Chains A and B, each alone.
Chain A
């Protein structure tokens, strides 16, 4: 920057001229910064909105989806069922096939459990003979009614809202259950 000071424009200037010049340059600098801050904000609003849209989304992502005819779930059994995730993107592939455990007690009384262990979300498996759900990750176990039996889980299995309509079992799916958002 040594060079610019020695430029011809400054060489002949007296004190007065230099001062006005400096104020003008200061003003230009301040105006330039202010304009760029404003332009930056205008640029940032859609960027932040785009990236954090899922964070800001307040609408309930869940909707009712059928698990199939009631005949598929005999009374007194616990069976695995799967549904196509209603919260969907065209390129979801296999990941949109969501499993759940359906326990039909009697008539239209069901319990529909998320497969996700309440400890850290691994998929629990049903063991008919011992009447337990067991988790393969950290050894969590649940009774047939979903309540915690043993291991590190802090609570029983997450349960879906369900309804029986048109001879079919429907659940409200579309969201991963976690402790802060238990479906």
Chain B
């Protein structure tokens, strides 16, 4: 025993382990920071470690070559021992990392931890956030399938919109004028060397700052931060209720860490790895590229924005959001930290989460995309065809063959790009339908060149039947024949000149 102790002391004299321990793991933190709200940061770091380990393992087998990547992914999924599972853990680890990082950021924001004197901790966190998203995007490209190929094309198209330097940036990112051999190598280098290296440097800085400036005490309402007095107050808190981080404040972190690992492994086991979906052959164009969930928000926003503000939002919104996040610790450097006294902060978080949630949901359902197979796959409901005249039946065939269903639903089936037409006859008169079909408008293409007059007549005759049983079709109120007797009575008096003009339809 005595020899062992001597050896330990000898080692410690050389390695300074107790001194390092006392200034890191054993450093004093406010007892109040040992809270369930404070576990997300360490869990995000844990995810990163899992990503590094599983990613390194995958790199033993994965071939970062456009020619081989897809095959090596298939090999990982089906032939390599535990290959599918490690791919699944890496995929779910990335999802958890993004999610936990977001929770950590929200918690730090709501607890006012970005205020004096922890401004740089927050700013380094913003860069960690950006680097993690960059890791997620480049990781999507590693799964080199159709989605990855077209995802790169989407990235190039976004960059290509930047004035002046756009074309050059596209070439820089794609490592050439087009997605080809060098593109994947470039993204592999970013995903495996550059961004993880950057992330490790940023994490080091982030943790160093947490140690240097101390972890935020659990904020209490009515205890605002003042630059002049805060440092003394924090020292006072440590003196009165300071405990060593290990072992006295780390317990909840440890429990949550174990839950996180089990959750990632469980999700990996249950849901398996993602893809690869379809080989990255651009000539297979029957594909609808979709990003991973963290980019669905952008995907949805780009579909829903009006044309004129698209470029503005594509580049302006991220720039403004980033500037706001970077300057936040200086805008609100002092004052209340507790969320109970910061209603605007709480409401902003709720609002942003709602926007993100709704956009992500819309990104999944993508109601703005035509349903490409509806015209040949979704039949018109039988009850819409019972007792119809031959002309109306022909119209239904035209309706189906001309792919109206790709954008217009009938009986709940079909695309949602345009309005459902189950009750179209109650909204539009026949001449209005003719005009809409031939001229288009309001986001509908014109079909004047693609429909013969006979087809248009049949189509409109069919659509005229699309109304609920007891709701009559819309009537053209300008035609005297369509008027109710009481309206006609009013017409016998001199009518306004506009009303007597002929109706211009086509």
Q: A61 to B176, alpha carbons, bound, how many Å? A: 9
Instruction: Quote the shortest CB–CB distance from A113 to chain B (angstroms).
Output: 12
Interface size, A (range): 35 or more
Please provide the chain A residues from 111 to 130 with a CB less than 8 Å away from any CB of chain B in the complex.
115-116, 119-125, 127, 129-130
Which of B153, B167, B289 contacts A181, CB < 8 Å? B167
Q: Are A55 and B168 in contact (CB under 8 A)?
A: yes
A93 within 8 A of B: yes
A149 within 8 A of B: yes
* CB neighbours of A61 from chain B (8 A): 176-178
Instruction: Quote the shortest CB–CB distance from A57 to chain B (angstroms).
Output: 7
Q: Are B447 and A130 in contact (CB under 8 A)?
A: yes
B108 within 8 A of A: no
A87 in contact with B176 given A130-B402, A130-B450, A131-B449 (CB within 8 Å): yes
* CB neighbours of A178 from chain B (8 A): 156-157, 159-161, 166-167, 170
Measured CB to CB, the nearest residue on chain B to A95 is B66
Measured CB to CB, the nearest residue on chain B to A83 is B283
* CB neighbours of B35 from chain A (8 A): none
A93 in contact with B445 given A115-B285, A130-B403 (CB within 8 Å): no
Which of B65, B170, B449 contacts A93, CB < 8 Å? B65
Q: A137 to B296, alpha carbons, bound, how many Å? A: 12
Q: A141 to B441, alpha carbons, bound, how many Å? A: 12
How many CB-defined contacts (below 8 Å) exist between A and B?
A: 202
Instruction: Quote the shortest CB–CB distance from B135 to chain A (angstroms).
Output: 19
Q: Are A125 and B286 in contact (CB under 8 A)?
A: yes
Contact string, A84-124, partner B, CB cutoff 8 A, digits 1/0? 01011111111111110000000000000001100111111
* CB neighbours of A125 from chain B (8 A): 285-286, 372
Contact string, A128-140, partner B, CB cutoff 8 A, digits 1/0? 0111101111110
Contact string, B62-98, partner A, CB cutoff 8 A, digits 1/0? 0001111010000000000000000000000000000
* CB neighbours of B285 from chain A (8 A): 80, 99, 115, 123-125
Q: Are A54 and B447 in contact (CB under 8 A)?
A: no
A120 in contact with B307 given A94-B281, A132-B445, A175-B177 (CB within 8 Å): no
A150 within 8 A of B: yes
B444 within 8 A of A: yes
- For B, the interface residue count at a CB cutoff of 8 angstroms equals 68
Q: Are B445 and A143 in contact (CB under 8 A)?
A: yes
Measured CB to CB, the nearest residue on chain B to A92 is B181
Measured CB to CB, the nearest residue on chain A to B170 is A178
Please provide the chain B residues from 20 to 34 with a CB less than 8 Å away from any CB of chain A in the complex.
none
Q: Are B161 and A180 in contact (CB under 8 A)?
A: yes
Measured CB to CB, the nearest residue on chain A to B443 is A150
Q: A138 to B366, alpha carbons, bound, how many Å? A: 8
* CB neighbours of B288 from chain A (8 A): 122, 136-137
Q: Are B177 and A174 in contact (CB under 8 A)?
A: yes
* CB neighbours of A89 from chain B (8 A): 66, 180-182
Interface residues of chain A, those whose CB is within 8 Å of chain B, are: 52, 54-55, 57, 61-62, 80, 82, 85, 87-99, 115-116, 119-125, 127, 129-132, 134-139, 141, 143-144, 149-152, 154, 174-176, 178-181
Query: What are the 10 closest A-B residue pairs judged by CB atoms, nearest first?
Result: A178-B160, A89-B181, A93-B67, A180-B166, A149-B445, A121-B157, A121-B153, A94-B281, A138-B303, A136-B288
Q: 15 additional contacts, CB 8 Å, given A91-B67, A130-B445? A: A90-B181, A92-B66, A95-B183, A120-B302, A130-B406, A136-B369, A137-B303, A150-B444, A150-B445, A154-B307, A175-B177, A176-B153, A179-B157, A180-B162, A180-B170
